[in-house]
Structure 1
């Protein structure tokens, strides 16, 4: 293979010899003082025999000569202007001085205004911007961009992630990534999470994004990276091979390109990396894994999985954490069919989950566990080897509170805080909340100490202090038990009742009809309501997601 046979560095869709030929054909058509990108023309020529190239080149430049020359009125500019994304290296050097308003919005991407004419598109210059007015031009460019016709579809990828693809014939489609929240609502019909979305704009005709809502973001980032690189190379209208993080209106590149070795790597910024780590941890604990899944696991599947996990546990004590997660999911899921926990099989699931949670963090002697009359396991003794799993500890404590296991509550609160603080997948407010509960159920600290720790929990759960959990999850799920506890220790019956109703409403709003097991029971609020009930608060047991016979102790049975 000769050097002429290799792909051209600037027009990779052509060989070096073909690119040289195309440049020679185009040269006579250049006007003095102007430089034109040959990318789209090269794509057109790459699909045609070379004997047709002179006609294709002549037709291309004839269309350009008919294009706008910059003498439009302000009204004409406002009618046709669109916000546009361009590759950084695509703006001719001699135009840079007349595009001072344009700006780099992310690695590899330039934002500019373009006028959509009958036969071509031209970039607006500073003179155009001055003629129409910067603010008016910006508003018109956004409005016109959002009227560009697009289509969309969802694509499933390995690992369960769902990608949203938005595409169309217009060269402005990719520019809609700048206003992704509006696109997601208008085109796809969904609101983006506070954490934003991962997005790629491989060509000017499409964008693909993934909302950052659960642990599938890890699979999505790899799938988006592979797609962006392939689509960018295929063209036409190549824009960027990078993966970006859209967050509160800004784009941040996750892709790092080594130009010497021409290799790509993904390096999320620290805030996003912490968020991804926290989401994966939440998924593994069964909190978010099935929130957006089309077909979450049914009760039979969960029952089968729980039985299999118990079988493994009899043989291998190291599987205790997996068995605990499986039983917690089963206990929640059974409440879809038995919302008050009136049946013994549902109680068995809650009791077994409580036993396993306690054993995981504090150890346990050999014991017998049931899941109905026919399923019985003789479990071995477990040593006290608490894992660094802060959310698992909270689940275990909430279960012990709901099942009124005073001894287990005490032992869980003696788990060293240093162990739980080794969990780097949770935000600081989670650890402060654990400290609050440990202090409350321990003999040593005073109520002033408890209040101080609760205040730290509340202060660190604000948006600025959260980097690992989605804001929606913090507000609707994690924060509610702390808010209830505040009213509980204040012995404020009326305000507690209002806060409990709000917590249940927030729980329902967050899960929004999902069939996920966690949607069935508001575990943290249930634990706080159980404490309040035992303290004589007038707690109404007939509330959604608060199993009545657990709350009022009518289903509770003795633990062996």
Structure 2
């Protein structure tokens, strides 16, 4: 008796029951276990929620359903009509079942793919003999796929205490969780939007439930822990437990992120290097306000508040020089936010914000002498001297460079162009195309650099901006926002006025499509296309300065004044 109780205490399968309850369930199940080996976890979860005097009937019903599944005999047509692809718990397989189901394959740690027949009262997993009876692997796969995609589900979004949003798909069918195999199609069916190219994190704690979070913005940092906790709790609660692990769905592949220490029974999340880089990039982009995200959508363009914060940050730089990068981001936000109320950038206060943003961006990458920064309404703040100490931040360099081009500040353009590319290559969040693009700009503004060299570098940037070459930033963001200046420069370099005009209009449409009605500062003006429009205008291209998100008085240079420093 002591041995049985001790076993129950340490038996993870029955941990939802007390030792005495676990012993009783094993006793009730023992007569049914003589003709086969069955897992008891799901039955134990049902018993936990049922009065103990009803357990004998519940156990009888459970094993009667298992027996009713039979051992086969359906015709080929009957199998194809009812077969579904199915995810099963890896630890539910015994040596005996593995021998009868050698066709199955492990999808990821903890999950096994199999075929199952959806029968009136139960579900039967196909054996090797069943698969052989169909005698057509493609037909079996197609039927399992088609039937699985017909499984009904309910959908809702779960907003958590932080800013992460989990997508929940659930239903009565035991095949709901198996739809995670085709998470991209499921997401589109549920939301009418495409899953990001980077995929999603997800859990399938029970066969009736999927919870997932698309890899679209920096809220993924919170979603990882939220999903892992949610998945583990739902797995322990059941019924129909499937897996307690966290997974990454990417291009149809599933990768397990959860490591379980079998000795200590502790869980840890260990993303592969590829995913870890993507996650860091998403957080970096989101923190700088570059992504359309819940955080960006909650942003306000309160000019008075942004101005006050910017003034305080600049004033604090004499005490904390390390705050220059944060102050630069704040000034970029302020400059762009001004364009919400002053879309033509006609007002002096708007110009002051753009000029001050350039002063800080230039100081961040090339150093600066002491100078004065204006923030409008006779508000000035001293900017202390800074040594040249460029950070490894490729996108911040582009912001500073675009500002210098827009403000027609050739001195700062030349100094920024001399920032070593090797420093910017150390930015772990920058894809290769971005570094080639920076190299293209630096080459173009280098005196006496052959135009063929510039064209070659541009070609490298274009080639590296497609598909799998982009492995860090969200491809949707790259296509709609970051690549547009590259495409414009291609038309500019070719001196093709007509195609430049069309490409500029398309770039601004992409900007509007990506940002929608977001109040985020970066939604108010298209910084990269504005820089290329300013450059083209200076080369006598016929630039349409009336386009949206293209501040007229900056594009045509009428607002430009001398900037200190």
TM-score bracket, normalised by the shorter chain, equals: over 0.9
Q: Please list, as runs of the form range in 1=range in 2, the aligned pairs for 1:126-137 lying within 5 A after superposition.
A: 126-132=128-134, 133-137=136-140
Aligned residue in 2 for 1:26:
29
The answer to whether 1:380 aligns with 2:384 is yes
Residues 489 and 514 (structure 1), Cα distance of their counterparts in 2 relative to 1, 3 Å cut: same
Match of 1:14 among 10, 17, 22: 17
Is the CA contact (8 Å cut-off) linking 2:297 and 2:520 kept in structure 1? no
- Residue 280 of structure 1: aligned partner: 283
Shift of 1:68: 4.9
**Contact 1:99 1:125 (C-alpha < 8 Å) held by counterparts:** yes
Cα distance, 1:17 vs. partner?
Answer: 4.6
Q: Structure 1 residue aligned with 2:124, among 122, 125, 130?
A: 122
User: Secondary structure of 2:340's partner?
Assistant: coil
In structure 1, how many angstroms separate the alpha carbons of the residues matched to 2:82 and 2:296?
41
Displacement after TM superposition at 1:528 (Å): 1.2
Measure the CA separation in 2 of the matches of 1:291 and 1:48.
42
Deviation at 1:192, TM superposition (A): 0.5
- The Cα shift of 1:123 comes to 0.7
The separation in 2 between residues aligned to 1:391 and 1:472, in whole angstroms, is 17
1:370 is matched with: 374
Q: Distance in 2 between matches of 1:112 and 1:505?
A: 46
Q: Distance in 2 between matches of 1:291 and 1:342?
A: 31
Structure 2 counterpart of 1:221:
224
User: Structure 1's 4 and 455: CA in aligned 2 closer, same or farther, altered over 3 A?
Assistant: closer
Shift, 1:351, TM fit: 1.4
- In 2, Cα distance between equivalents of 1:47 and 1:554: 74
Task: Name the stretch that deviates more: 243-252 or 110-119.
Answer: 110-119
Alignment CA distance shift 1:240-1:432 (3 Å):
same
Match of 2:183 in 1: 180
Residue 555 of structure 1 aligns with which residue? 559
Cα pair 1:290 1:296 within 8 Å, conserved: no
State TM-score, norm by structure 1.
0.93
Name which of 45, 70, 73 aligns with 1:71. Answer: 73
Q: Check whether the contact 1:314–1:377 (CA below 8 A) recurs between aligned residues.
A: no
SS in 2 for 1:202: strand
Q: CA deviation at 1:374?
A: 4.6
**What is the correspondence of 1:29-428 to structure 2 with a 5 Å cutoff?**
29-30=32-33, 32=35, 34-132=36-134, 133-157=136-160, 159-288=162-291, 290=293, 293-300=296-303, 301-313=305-317, 315-428=319-432
Is residue 298–residue 520 contact of structure 2 (8 Å, CA) maintained in 1?
no
Find runs of 4+ consecutive structure 1 residues off by over 6 angstroms: none
Aligned-residue offset at 1:178: 0.6
Task: Note closer, same or farther for the CA distance 1:293–1:490 as it changes in structure 2 (3 Å cut).
Answer: closer
Question: How many residues end up aligned between the 2 structures?
Answer: 559
Distance 1:557 1:293, change over 3 A: closer
Which residue is equivalent to 1:470?
Answer: 474
TM-score by length of 2: 0.92
Q: 1:304 to 1:202 in 2, by over 3 A?
A: farther
CA distance in 1, matches of 2:464, 2:68: 61
Unaligned 5+ segments in structure 2 are none
Shift in Å, 1:174: 0.9
